[in-house]
Amino acid sequence: MGLPDVSISEPISETLATFADSRHRVGPLLHLACQGRADTEPDRAALLLLKSAYQANVYASLRQKAVEGKISELLIKHSVPFSFLKGRGLAEQLHRDPAARLSKDVDILVSTDRSSEVIKLMNNNGYIYKSYGRKPNKRLELARQDMDIKLFKDLTFFDSNLSVPIELHCRLFKFEPDGLTNGFHETVKTTPVPSLSNSFYCLYLILHGTLAMWPRLKWLVDLSIMLRKMPIESRLEMMDIAKSYGCDVAIAASILTTEEIFSGSLDDDWQSLLEPFRMDGHLREMQGLYYECLTANTVSRPSYPLKSRLLSGSADLVFPGKISLLETLLRRFMNSLAVRI
């Protein structure tokens, strides 16, 4: 991660390695961290598990790269602007060895007004649609896909030749303030792989973990490295954009939580920028929820804290007062109806 080494307080057992890989998705990173460390002696089972996780991710990255190349060629041929989100492109910007960051699929964002066209292109070029419905009707499949992407914000296709899932997005998040995805499109424009110098892209990456309540160390590792790589001039701009969408406190809480987990993530400029947020009651509430989710003792991804009380998942906490209650209720109703069709 590029942070100073710390002493190892617990030997790496097979159980711990499994937990790190399956629950927190940091198996490949832990494998690399163990290399050349005299004070780290994983037992043989743990060593083999972590090595296998790293090697599997190397092969997965190669398959994802091939899929990205095919999709890029297809969309460029039809003059469709697009951006790859997270994934392999982010790994190459964060790590000297991109295989350190585990990635399982290819995420691609297109504009809503081109989504129907891209859905047809995916179907006509051999990509298999993974239906949300229980009994997809082949005759109405395109219409159903067009409805689903607008309701659920993404569709999952599958490249059967390379065994790679592809998530096609028409907006960034299921519940978001008006204009958020359009604002992202305007700044990223036609860049297939956005850069960490793009403030709006950095905001998206932090929001991705924030809205999920930071259930995995993998995303906090991303954020720790990203915070150190972000140009100073981009930081204030990102916080100003966050403020315009009402999520600046939640973003500040995410950044400060990262410093608590990975000390040294924030330099003096970050500390100064975040100082006005430290005594905010909502920030402390968000930090408590993040920590609860991150440390949940479960082998799978934990549920949102307080999920049953949140109409829009965590979005009404992250974007307080910015999510329309009427739109949320309507979308919830339409979603429940759609999955039963």
Cβ pair 187, 175 in contact under 8 A: no
Residue 332, pLDDT score: 61
Res 132 pLDDT > 70: no
pLDDT surpasses 80 at 6: no
Put residue 88 in one of left, alpha, beta given phi > 0 → left and psi -120 to 50 → alpha: alpha
Q: How confident is the model at residue 340 (pLDDT cuts 50, 70, 90)?
A: very low
Read off the pLDDT of residues 286-321 as tens digits, 9 standing for 90 and up: 999 999 999 988 877 777 665 545 555 788 889 988
What tokens does 198 get? 């793009």
**Distance (Å, whole) CA 99 – CA 225:** 15
Does residue 124 have a pLDDT over 70? yes
d(CA 24, CA 215): 8
CA atoms within 13 A on the CB side of 142: 11
pLDDT value at residue 308: 47
Q: What is the mean pLDDT of residues 5-33?
A: 87
160-195 as b/e, with b when 16 or more CB fall inside 10 Å?
A: eebebbbbbbbbbbbbbbeebbebbbebbeeebbbe
Distance CA 208, CA 214 (A): 9
Which pLDDT belongs to residue 68? 96
Interval 23-66: pLDDT, tens: 999 999 999 988 866 566 778 899 999 999 999 999 999 999 99
Which of these, 273, 261, 252, 258, lies nearest to 318 by C-alpha position? 252
Q: Where are the beta strands (DSSP E) in the chain?
A: 83-85, 106-109, 128-130, 154-159, 164-169
pLDDT band at 325 (very low <50, low <70, confident <90, very high): low
Using one digit for the tens of pLDDT, what is the confidence trace for 213-235? 999 999 999 999 999 999 999 99
Mean pLDDT for all residues in the chain: 87
Within 8 A by CB and 6+ apart from 14, the residues are 43, 45, 46, 49
Q: How far apart are CA 67 and CA 108, in angstroms?
A: 11
Across 33-47, 48-62, 128-142, 324-338, the highest mean pLDDT is recorded for 48-62
Q: For residues 299 and 22, what is the distance between their CA atoms, to the nearest angstrom?
A: 7
Report the distance separating Cα 240 and Cα 201, nearest Å.
Answer: 14
Q: Which amino acid, 328? A: T
Query: pLDDT for 95-120, tens place per residue?
Result: 999 999 999 899 999 999 999 999 99
What CA–CA distance (Å, rounded) separates 235 from 198? 10
Tell me the C-alpha distance between 245 and 242, whole Å: 5
